[in-house]
Chains A and B, each alone.
Chain A
Amino acid sequence: MKPVWVQRAAAVLFWLAVWQCAAMAVGQEVFLVSPVAALRALVQLLPTADFWGRVWFSSGRILLGFGLGAGCSVLLAAASAKIRWVDILLSPLMQLVKATPVASFIILALVWVRGRSLSILISFLMVLPVLYGAVRTGIQSTDPQLLEMARVFRLPRMRRLRAIWLPAVLPAFHQGCSVALGICWKSGVAAEVIGLPDGSIGDALYRAKITLSTGDLFAWTFVIICVSALFEKLFLWILDRAVKRVTGEEAAR
């Protein structure tokens, strides 16, 4: 049996080959660019200041939206776990946000905010119900017997948080973040494609589409996937370290 990374690399190579064959069969780069041409477009993009400026612009805003969404969801989930009427009040709102198509939010949000801030608001809105639900689930999974123990021993609030609440909530939060980070990148870039803020990745995608630069379109898509995966890995790594530090636990999984 080959190591897992060899199997994965083989799978990637297989699909790249399928893509190459399909591109050769279609024979028109406007419709389907070959992986080689997409790679060529990416190599041309990489050394330009415009490329890094766009990556910085979009990453900053999308991650700001994620951070705000994560912060708010933790606070709201904690409040709704503690206060019943907050839970009753927030429940339909979160359902609504979760069920509303992202395109509706983007178009509606364009009326409220400038295109430059659109991706912040959209990532925030997409992240909020996901992490709210995850944190809520984590809080609900807290062992009531441990909470009784903490009450009997009169453990201070911070110690309860560290020893009981965080170990219960963080695995769910970790999982929620993994999902939410992917969602916020997809929705944030979609917002940029519609809002067209200057200097964003979404704007570059749109330009690639109207100029029929399919190579650039694929290159930018590849960049979005990579940046999204990179931030997800980095964030979850930081979260794992924080969990270990705070709870003494080996990993929040």
Chain B
Amino acid sequence: MSIQIEELCKRYGDKVLFEHLNLRVEKPAVLWAPSGWGKTTLLRILMGLEQPDGGRVTGVGRVGAVFQENRLCRALNAVQNVALVTPDGKGDPEAIRRDFGLLGMQGAALALPTARLSGGQKRRTALLRALWAEADTLLLDEPFTGLDPAAMQQAAALLRQRCAGRSALLATHDRAAIQALGWPVLVLAGQNGPESGGK
């Protein structure tokens, strides 16, 4: 499945975020753009949470997402939060725990309500939730926020492994993360689409 963005326009009042944006994402890619360009808005349009003012988006299908905020169910623990988005709502707790281990998170932290986790632990939970969702497309908005370099490397490695074969769009400013992922970078500096295919 590939994401096809055609002639997409979005403005808030007089402020034009992007106009006639054309983009095709067939494999995992990093979305890079200056602050305020509208990366989050673009991802929200792809998630179906916002309507564009013009143009269309196809090929997104079911979405697994990391939002700008963690958006975890505070009363549930990390494993339960991940299991929540699996097809049966229960997932495979053992396999989920193993995945948390790959992200450097294990032991008692996994049993705590997520309200009591640190920022980095919450972010890793949000990331793993996106990876465990039954999704055709992954849309990841700054998924490494709050992670230390080692945790970021672990998260990038897991993403590389799990995103192969499906379309994924990851918005980030973090150059180390871009390097760790090794994905093509779509640079969105103008208002009309990618200026170059690599960075």
Contacts and interface: CB of A to CB of B under 8 A. Distances in A.
- What's the interface size class on A, roughly? 10 to 19
Interface stretch (A22-30, A83-91, A150-158, A232-240): A150-158
Query: In which size bucket is the chain B interface?
Result: 20 to 34
Contacts of A156: 89
Q: Is the interface of A mostly helix, strand, loop or mixed?
A: helix
Given A148-B49, A159-B84, A159-B89, A153 B133 contact: yes
B49 A248 contact: no
A164 interface: yes
B63 A167 contact: no
Most buried by B among A153, A163, A249: A153
B75 A249 contact: yes
A159 to B, nearest CB: 5
A100 interface: no
B75 A153 contact: no
B71 A167 contact: no
A104 interface: no
A149 interface: yes
Contacts of B75: 167, 247-250
A204 to B, nearest CB: 45
Nearest to B71: A149
16 contacts: A145-B67, A145-B71, A146-B73, A148-B71, A149-B67, A151-B49, A152-B48, A153-B63, A153-B129, A155-B84, A163-B76, A164-B73, A167-B73, A167-B74, A248-B75, A250-B113
Interface of B: 47-49, 62-65, 67, 69, 71, 73-77, 80, 84-85, 89, 113, 129, 133
